[in-house]
A and B are shown apart, each in its own frame.
Chain A
Amino acid sequence: MKPNMIIVGMADLKVCKNPEILTTLGLGSCVGIALYDKINKVAGLAHAMLPDSASFTNNSNRMKFVDTSITDLIVKMCVQGAEKRNIKAKIAGGAQMFAHSSTNESMRIGDRNVEATVTILRKLGIPLLAKETGDTYGRTVELYSEDGRFVIKTISHGIKTI
């Protein structure tokens, strides 16, 4: 039987255990944060839109932001049997979909999402194993809870596993 594939939407996060698979479709400027505990085989995936919950007054949906979604994801994973000291990260996304507009600050949001993710992970002491970020194309990602492989699919830039 094929393992269950669980879809994580925009501004959403989900946790699963071996052998289930987490996926999020069409990451653009948003960032996909994959966390994995190799020992207990617990995986978590977040699809965050904005870098920092403290910079926005409307922050009731914690899953919108990089910082709050990472902390919430870790808590959820630990409930499912993960241990924080085992958790390692891989990230993808943070593209600038409409190129040639880098002068516009709001269009650099992809870069800022990636920068925020790297900073928060470092602050929490979670090793960042690999990233596939930036550039100008969309990405669909799949996180396999059996071994933590993170597969990145694109339309014109092929498939990559990190």
Chain B
Amino acid sequence: MKRLRAALLRLTGLFGKQSRERELADELEAHVQMHTDDNIRAGMEPAQARRKAMLGLGSMEATRQAYRERSTVPLIENTMQDLRFALRQLRKHLGFTCTAILMLALGMGASVAMFAFVDAALIKPLPYQNPTRLVEATESIALFGRANLSHLDYLDWKRLNEVFSSLDVYTGSGFLLNTPTGTEPVPALKVTDGFFRTLGVVPMLGRDFYAGEDRPGASRTAILSYASWQRRFGGNRDTIGKTVSLGGNPYVIVGVLPKEFHFAPGGRTEFWVTDHADDSCEKRRSCHNLVGVARLKDGVSIEAALANMQSIAKQLELQYPGDNRGQGASVISLSEAFTGDVQPILLMLLGGAGLLLLIACVNVSSLLLVRSENRRREIAVRGALGASPARLVRQFITESLVLVAAGSALGVAAADGAMHLLVSLISQDQMSNMPFLLGLGMNRHVLAFAAVVALLAAILFSLTPLIRLRLNAVQEGLADGSRGSAGTVWRRFGANLVAVELAMTVVLLVGAGLLGKSLYRLMQVNIGFQPDHLATIHVVLPEVGYEKNEKVEAFAAEALAKTSALPGVRSAGIINILPVSSNGNTDWIRFVGKPYHGEHNEVNQRDASPDYFKTIEAKLLAGRYFTNDDDAARPLAVIINQSLAKRYFPGENPIGKKIGDDDLTPNSIKQIVGVVADVRDGSLDSQLMPAVYYPFSQDPDTFFALVVRTSQTEQSILPLLTATIHQIDPRAGTVDQGTMAEHVSASGNLHRSIAWVVGGFAALALLLSIVGLYGVIAYSVSQRTREIGVRMALGAQRGTVYRLILTEAGWLTMIGMGVGLVSAIGAATLVSNLLFGIRAWDPPTLAGAAALLSIAALAGSYLPARRAASVNPVEALRIE
């Protein structure tokens, strides 16, 4: 209690220092007076009496000091003093301060922003119960490591496995929702009844699906996503029990999912319905349309689960040699399934940002080193006046803390801005596949990361000047204060720092070069058609009313006829899946008259209308395009791509040959009527695959893309396309309208974003390290002015001086470049998966980075070299 009271009083003592000092002075004066009075009374001379009184009081200064320390908290008092001094120092060297803070903020901003992405995607657990025990279980084939699961296989897996406490499946879907403003296609996911129980997610409103609710013939029920509930139903609690029309069928809403729930493969899924396993695909073991989600039993590892599933897959392969040949199993953690693709990218970007941060820190350190060099005299004077070494050290720590605090505050603000900027650069589609990024922001993890970085920077910046300062060498400091000898420590240490910095810059430059070149190569990829002047729109027909193929075909024919007649339209075509989307939607084919051993000839399967190839301007290599006569009434026709022709008909003319399904079922036999040059079905960086095209009218689907070539701008035709579709049937939905050029370009979006971000890092790194190099060389020149003066006085030419300085810079650059190139190859090898069409040790890129750095380094060191060469020897010598 007593202590507390005293401590509080001392804290308040930090204020009102002046009045307290005056009061003490008064009190001491009174003391001396009274003592003097007494002494006089005792018979002393007045002067003698006062002197005696003063002596009795002892050292006045010591008393004052003791009193002062007692009346406040010396630590705080001193810190405040240090702080004031630090601020004054920093203000006096505004250029230094601003540069240091800006560089720090830049490094912090970049790395904190990148960490926030890493945190949101890779660190933050998925919003399910005990998410680390969840796995994705799928089949696996030679072509795709993770391939869909067929319904019958799923049932066997569920029955036979010994490693999952539960196994459920989902499959992507979509519905046409009737809204007051018309029909709207909405994304949906079909799941088995136990799906949410496996995830450990309980609806926040209403109920989960009952067990058995996924049986054929069970009533149609739906669970809403939180966003959909808010948007479409205004967040009303009485939404439960309401009926919505999905694709023309009534569904009863039974639940609403929690707000924080997300499921990356489902994207922006609004409706979750049970999969009644009643379509034709789910009756065939060879039709793969499901993805499994399972919860591991306690104590079962992912490896053990994989082994179990692989043995089951083997068993099924023996049991169903036709359907299950080559169908293995894949089990990976659910988080890997969701974020496996972006993980290496995010880690690479975090690494890049880390390098930038390091460069910034090194730069600030070397600036501090230069400053400590210049402050040796000040330190020596303070030391001579009695400042303790601890106090001097504290001064440096205080200054670095001020720098770091300002830099960090600015950096965190910059990171926040950068995050928003980067998120706004991610397209809606990409974002919907990465719902975990919605949690991006300045949360505790991110702030803790920023704090740790700031702490490390503060330690680094406090230590840097200390390395330089030998605090006890007061005399030396005083003596050589004005002498122009560059400290050897500085030469050795500061120079090395700059070489390190240059090396890191080379790594980033090479990285940016490789990624940029990858992007360029990606954009140069031959897609096999002309994407300009093509407008595209996806059409979704309702289930009800389009049960019969003829209806769908009639709609398609009318849509083609009407859009072809639109002004400016040169031709129009229909394809079930746009090119440059993804490989998949495959078919197993077999060739009539060729030996067959039960292998699965897996090829991409697409459905195209007669004018499709003409519209996209794909090249016909042999045979003919489809015609309007290739309809349901005629023999089945097929167009194959060049890859298929090369692989399965080497040296043969494939026209007229026949293909069928694995069993060559009579009604599956189709005749090859044409060969087209490869049109890239998958993304730009994917492999070309053999493909078959069936006439749309012989294999119609209620979901297809309409592709229109126009002589005008693509944008101007888009509204007309939508209007035309709705004119034919107002219940038809349209989605994803856009241009083919955008669609193709979007396939390179990921590469583009990475290239831009790393390019940005590299540019900043180059700027920072050249500033660093300039600083080092300029400082060296300023320290060597006298030496240069002497050299010139002794007859050195200006050219010699140039060479002297540029050699110094050249050495640093060479060392930095050498180390940097080697590290860059190493770093690029680590991320070689992200490169496209280029090796990690691409010589032109390495040479380009080296050349860029050399030019920049030359520019950075030219200015100080010129200053050195223009030194006037007479003045240089006189200054000293």
Tell me, yes or no, whether A binds B. Answer: no
> Which residues does A use to contact B, with CB under 8 Å?
none
